[in-house]
């Protein structure tokens, strides 16, 4: 049991010990998963952060908490030490015999500063200085560990002269305290707890004696230990059912806190129902929405390449790409998938994420991130992304998802966001773990710094010739409406009527066909096409998009025959002509 407890000890406690004792840091900013449960080695149970910190530090430190509400304690012993220091004059009053009335007076003094955050800081500094003075003669007084909850609310980011008056005064007072030589020389230290680094004022983060610890969401081993610990609970364990078994649940629960897992378990036991994969995904996305709005969504694909119709050349290439991304020496940061709207780019990448076991994170509404708290939102985004195992980040219409860092018309905050993402893509520490899938119909408008991180550029086109016939036949067969009755002449008519159809248009055609057959079971696909067709509004745009995709394709074998026959200059000229034609059309 002792070996298990050591293994379960939260790693941030080891980091805290190293930074304080070896590197002499006495301001520690702890961010990330600070509101979760962690293993408490004194109780052999999972407990909140406050309790775990208290249990780990209490042997060597007197511990006090401070936040917007004021000063508080977790133990009567620590409160008594402060009360003695507060009440004593020249000589420290002994703990034995300290009167309840005197303790009550101290509590009233602390209570007078409730929700008076600046006054509470002033009082705490006064008490700390008295503690230091008495400690020189009284060895039983331990150094202080001062834990600041929600430090970003007390000391928010921003230029000090532009902060509201109260925020400015709190920051100035605290900064002066931390930079006093007397503070640096003592063994007292601060732990600043906050969701992100970016929310805490940069003056404090830049101090030479400040260090940061980022606490990740539980990894697979921590989730396993939590699940096994819960299953041993005689009250709940025997009744808990996990869809797909324990190991499947542990793998699928990446991205969830232990507190959320506990709530899921207790609800499932109470309602006598299993914890399903769908429930896990719903909880993951709820958690992401709480912190990031609707910027990202998590998917765990349940299908593989066998669900993709046609695209045999693409399958061979993507098999190779996803294989090489399992090895650091051959992995790439991103792949660029270009092609016309409705060609199936997203579905293709989702299929290979499913085959490779990668969790899919879809980025949506990314541009909304840069309004307001760019640094905070990106820090949270990056933190969540790196919490999962191997992932594929899908960015639809990547050329519009984030602006160019080079364009003079790009908003400064948006440039900062784009720069952060480009930097994240280029971080070699994320190779193998993170693969970006950038999908766009206009790769020519993608920032060059992004394209340079995508050495593999794959183009997806509408199938042509025999491949088109095979695609249509297989699609209708899978939808339960085989086209075996069509004659060669009927096929010629079908191909003619669907010349400009994309893969998405054909899927819409099958839906029309299925709907029509509910009323007229014998209706044929040609009869449906007599009264329905796909929209024609973007036919010219899709043709232009195919030309652009051909220019951005790394694999000539993927090009339709008509593009393979064109020389480079001929393709460039044709693309430029189409682009000019569309510009004239819009101008008119």
User: What residue ranges do the domains of the chain occupy?
Assistant: 2-215, 220-292, 299-459, 463-588
Instruction: Provide the token pair at 15.
Output: 């980091």
Q: What is the distance between the alpha carbons of residues 2 and 118, in angstroms, rounded to a whole number? A: 44
Q: Which of 493, 502, 501, 487 is nearest to 527 (CA)?
A: 493
Q: What is the pLDDT of residue 368?
A: 55
Q: What is the pLDDT of residue 413?
A: 66
Buried (b) or exposed (e) across 190-205, using 16+ Cβ within 10 A?
bbbbbbbbbbbbebbb
Cα–chain center distance at 225: 23
533 neighbors 497 (Cβ within 8 angstroms): yes
Instruction: Provide the token pair at 488.
Output: 């060669």
Q: What is the distance between the alpha carbons of residues 256 and 196, in angstroms, rounded to a whole number? A: 18
Q: What is the pLDDT of residue 107?
A: 95
Rg of the chain in Å (alpha carbons): 31
Q: Where are the alpha helices (DSSP H) in 97-164?
A: 100-111, 117-135, 151-154
- Segment-wise mean pLDDT, segments of 10 residues, the chain, 588 residues: 55 95 94 94 92 96 96 95 92 88 94 94 96 91 96 95 95 97 93 94 96 92 91 83 90 89 91 89 83 79 91 92 93 94 91 88 68 68 78 88 65 72 85 92 89 92 92 94 92 94 93 94 94 89 93 93 92 91 71
Q: What is the pLDDT of residue 440?
A: 93
Give the model confidence (pLDDT) of 516-550 as tens digits. 999 999 999 999 999 999 988 888 899 999 999 99
411 neighbors 403 (Cβ within 8 angstroms): yes
Q: What is the pLDDT of residue 6?
A: 43
Buried (b) or exposed (e) across 277-305, using 16+ Cβ within 10 A?
bebbbebbbebbeebbeebbbbbbbeeeb
284 neighbors 269 (Cβ within 8 angstroms): no
Give the model confidence (pLDDT) of 29-80 as tens digits. 999 999 999 999 888 899 999 999 999 999 999 999 999 999 999 999 999 9
Q: What is the distance between the alpha carbons of residues 539 and 582, in angstroms, rounded to a whole number? A: 11
Order the strands of the 359-363 sheet from edge to edge: 296-299, 359-363, 391-395, 434-440, 334-338, 456-459
CATH number (1.10.3210, 3.20.20, 3.30.1490, 3.40.50) of 2-215 reads 3.40.50
Cα–chain center distance at 246: 24
CATH number (3.40.50.720, 3.40.50.300, 3.30.1330.10, 1.10.10.10) of 299-459 reads 3.40.50.300
Two domains, one topology: 2-215 and 299-459: yes
Q: What is the distance between the alpha carbons of residues 189 and 409, in angstroms, rounded to a whole number? A: 46
């Amino acid at each position: 049991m002792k070996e298990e407890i050591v293994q379960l000890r939260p790693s941030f406690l080891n980091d805290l010990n190293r930074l304080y004792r070896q590197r002499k840091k006495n301001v520690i900013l702890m961010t990330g998963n600070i509101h979760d449960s962690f293993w408490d080695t004194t109780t052999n149970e999972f407990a909140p952060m406050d309790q775990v910190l208290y249990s780990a530090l209490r042997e060597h430190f007197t511990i006090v908490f401070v936040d917007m509400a004021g000063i508080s304690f977790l133990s009567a012993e620590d409160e008594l030490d402060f009360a003695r220091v507060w009440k004593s004059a020249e000589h420290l009053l002994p703990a034995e015999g300290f009167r309840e009335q005197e303790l009550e007076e101290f509590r009233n003094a602390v209570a007078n500063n409730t929700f008076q955050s600046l006054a509470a800081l002033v009082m705490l500094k006064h008490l700390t200085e008295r503690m230091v003075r008495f400690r020189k003669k009284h060895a039983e007084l331990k150094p202080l560990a001062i834990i600041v909850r929600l430090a970003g609310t007390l000391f928010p980011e921003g230029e000090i002269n532009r902060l509201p008056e109260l925020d400015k005064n709190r920051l100035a007072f605290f900064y002066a305290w931390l930079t006093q030589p007397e503070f640096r020389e003592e063994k007292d230290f601060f732990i600043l707890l906050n969701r992100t680094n970016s929310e805490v004022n940069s003056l404090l983060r830049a101090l030479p004696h400040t260090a940061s610890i980022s606490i990740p969401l539980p990894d697979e081993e921590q989730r396993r230990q939590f699940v096994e610990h819960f299953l041993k609970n005689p009250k709940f364990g025997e009744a808990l059912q996990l869809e797909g078994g324990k190991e499947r649940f542990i793998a699928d629960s990446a991205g969830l806190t232990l507190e959320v897992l506990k709530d899921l378990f207790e609800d499932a036991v109470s309602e006598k129902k299993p914890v399903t994969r769908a429930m896990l995904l719903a909880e993951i996305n709820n958690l992401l929405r709480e912190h990031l709005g609707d910027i990202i969504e998590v998917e765990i694909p349940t299908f593989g390449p066998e669900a993709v119709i046609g695209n045999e050349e693409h399958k061979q290439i993507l098999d190779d790409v996803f294989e090489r991304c399992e090895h650091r020496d051959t992995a790439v940061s991103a792949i660029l998938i270009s092609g016309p709207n409705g060609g199936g780019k997203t579905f293709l990448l989702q299929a290979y994420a499913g085959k490779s076991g990668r969790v899919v994170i879809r980025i949506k509404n990314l541009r909304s991130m840069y309004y307001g708290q760019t640094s905070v939102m990106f820090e949270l985004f990056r933190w969540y992304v790196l919490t999962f195992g191997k992932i594929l980040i899908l960015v639809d219409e990547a050329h519009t998802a984030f602006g160019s860092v080079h364009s003079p018309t790009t908003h400064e905050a948006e440039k900062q966001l784009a720069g952060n993402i480009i930097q994240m893509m280029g971080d070699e520490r994320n190779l193998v773990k993170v693969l970006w899938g950038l999908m766009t119909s206009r790769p020519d408008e993608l920032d060059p710094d992004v394209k340079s991180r995508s050495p593999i550029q794959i183009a997806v086109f509408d199938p042509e010739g025999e491949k088109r016939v095979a695609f249509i036949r297989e699609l209708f067969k899978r939808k339960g409406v085989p086209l075996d009755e069509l004659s060669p002449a009927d096929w010629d008519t079908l191909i003619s009527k669907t010349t400009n159809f994309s893969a998405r248009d054909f899927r819409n055609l099958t839906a029309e066909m299925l709907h029509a057959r509910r009323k007229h079971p014998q209706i044929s696909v040609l009869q449906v096409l007599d009264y329905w067709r796909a929209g024609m509004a973007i036919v010219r745009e899709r043709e232009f998009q195919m030309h652009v995709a051909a220019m951005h394709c790394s694999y000539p074998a993927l090009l339709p025959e008509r593009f393979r026959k064109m020389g480079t200059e001929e393709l460039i000229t044709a693309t430029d002509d189409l682009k000019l034609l569309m510009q004239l059309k819009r101008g008119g």
